[in-house]
Amino acid sequence: MRRLWIVRVATVFTLAVGTLVVALGGAASSAARRPSRNATVSGYVQLCGGPAPGRCWKGKAGFCEQPQGCVTTSRVAVIDVRGRRVATQRLHRARFRFHLVPGHYTIELLGDGKRVHGRVMQTKKITARAHRTTVVRFLFAVP
């Protein structure tokens, strides 16, 4: 009988310690969570020019050069201050939108073609602020 009582006390003690460890571990893991992505970066590719009177429109830009061939804007990449690529997204109707952790970033407009992949067409340095939308415009002059 005494031995059974000791086993029950030991079991209850073990469960109580385990619950305490889980509770403390849960608090530590919630403190170590990644910061929320509450800054929005939105943008587009704009082409301006053409015959008089000229106008501006949103669309993809393309160039052809020898010997590499033709390149068309197709993607946007986000680079953080450490030089790491944080996100990449394809352009959709010459537009893009990212939800990022607030901070300083470089936005790269990338072009792809038959023989070329990931050519940097333009870059913009931005500061993404919490609960704000930062607008990025990549402008190309059309003759």
> Is the separation of the CB atoms in 76 and 91 below 8 Å?
yes
Q: Is the pLDDT of residue 43 over 90?
A: yes
CA dihedral sign of residues 21, 22, 23, 27: positive
Task: Tell whether 112 and 128 lie within a shared domain.
Answer: yes
Of residues 66 and 109, the one with the higher pLDDT is 109
What's the pLDDT score for residue 25? 53
Of 70, 42, 67, the residue nearest 138 (C-alpha): 42
Average pLDDT over residues 45-50: 93
Task: Tell whether 83 and 137 lie within a shared domain.
Answer: yes
Of 108, 109, 113, 110, the residue nearest 67 (C-alpha): 113
Task: Tell whether 59 and 80 lie within a shared domain.
Answer: yes
Q: Residue 102: beta bridge partners? A: none
What's the pLDDT score for residue 20? 45
Domain encompassing residue 25: 1-33
Average pLDDT over residues 12-23: 50
What's the pLDDT score for residue 52? 83
What's the pLDDT score for residue 21? 47
